[in-house]
Amino acid sequence: MEIAELSVLLVWASATALTIALAAFAIDLGRRTEARVEARAGARTPAAVAAGAGGAGRVAGGSASASPAAGPDVPDVPSSARRRAAGIAMSTTWLGTALLLAAIVLRGVAAGRTPWANMYEFTLVGSFVALVVFLVLNLRRDLKFLGAFVIGLTVLFLVLGVNVFYVAATGVQPALQNYWLVIHVGVAITATGIFTVSFVTSVLQLLRDSRDTGGTSLQRPGFRWLDGLPTPKTLEGLSFRLNAVAFVLWTFTIIGGAIWAEDAWGRYWGWDPKEVWSFVIWVIYAAYLHARTTRGWDGRRAAWFVVVGYACVLFNFTGVNLIFNGLHSYAGIETEL
């Protein structure tokens, strides 16, 4: 078996392990929701007793039966069964991440270069970064509620990468045989991985906010898992911090790309489609950070900024590469610069 083929097998092994993790995270989220609902109900019980019998008691009882989504965040209730699901989820996520790292390394060995020079490799490394960001965050805080969604998106990317973007492991064009391939594209991939996690967080913020404010479609039993998430404000704060870090990296991506472009093509900026859309992404996230910090744009407006920004990131990766021709296009499934 060739090294490139072994790399692909490891990608599938990683996707399999991550699928198991996804199921375990989903179970953990369900049990988390049950624990939080029970904790909120228990927190209201003393108030109901103190209110006494009769009409006052009935009012307190009515409050106690209100939707748990309307209440404040309550710490999880310890549950060994829930912890087992979380333990399995985290263990298989670490395993899937390690397998993906091995696949990326072997891809680089097979190609004889840094393994992020085309869309297939960009997908693998970007997914790996998103997984690492999620795991590192969980070393500091319990953010396992993100697991099912980050892992689900990662598995989707890996499957698309192998089935749609795969190209043989070969060398690169002379213009790409430069140390800026490691720096420029490496930083861009890191920013994209962080943008992915922040996107998931903002989508969950929108869903939780809609449920809390009485969105009709989200009051159904099938969306009860939203009650197990932190408050929209907490989710927004996490997304903002992630986007602030990713924005700095994306700024360096554009600067590094301009320096490389001057070295390769004799100009810093040429309004190439990839350059234009990279700048569009920068403007959107800059506007988001500015509006939130100086104009008081928070809540749903801020979350929608993040969703639009990430949609542009995805279009820059797929649509710009596959639809437009430019200096960043070299072959079939275009090279990422």
pLDDT of residue 224: 84
Q: Give the pLDDT score at 6.
A: 96
> Do the domain assignments include residue 88?
no
Residue 77's pLDDT is what?
Answer: 46
CB crowding 166-202: b at 16 or more within 10 Å, else e: bbebeebeebbeeebbebbbbbbbbbbbbbbbbbbbb
User: For residue 94, is it within any domain?
Assistant: no
- Residue 286 CA to its chain's centroid (Å): 19
Provide the pLDDT for residue 262.
85
pTM of the full structure: 0.84
Backbone phi and psi for residue 151, each to the nearest 5 degrees, phi listed first:
-65, -40
Domain of 279 in residue numbering reads as 172-337
Q: Domain tally for the chain?
A: 1
Domain-embedded: residue 105: no
Inside any domain, residue 275: yes
Residue 47 inside a domain? The answer is no
Task: Calculate the dihedral angle through the C-alpha atoms of 303, 304, 307, 311, rounding to the nearest 10 degrees.
Answer: -160
pLDDT (tens, 9 = 90+) of the chain, 337 residues, equals: 799 999 999 999 999 999 999 999 999 988 878 776 666 666 655 554 454 444 444 434 443 333 444 444 444 544 555 578 999 999 999 999 999 999 999 999 999 888 988 899 999 999 999 999 999 999 999 999 999 999 999 999 999 999 999 999 888 776 677 788 788 889 999 999 999 999 999 999 999 998 888 766 777 777 888 888 899 999 999 999 999 999 999 999 999 989 988 887 788 888 888 889 999 999 999 999 999 988 878 889 999 999 999 999 999 988 888 886 655 554 444 555 5
- Domain contains 14: no
- The answer to whether residue 91 sits within a structural domain is no
Place of tokens 């006494």: 52
225: in domain = yes
Residue closest to 184 by CA, chosen among 276, 125, 250: 250
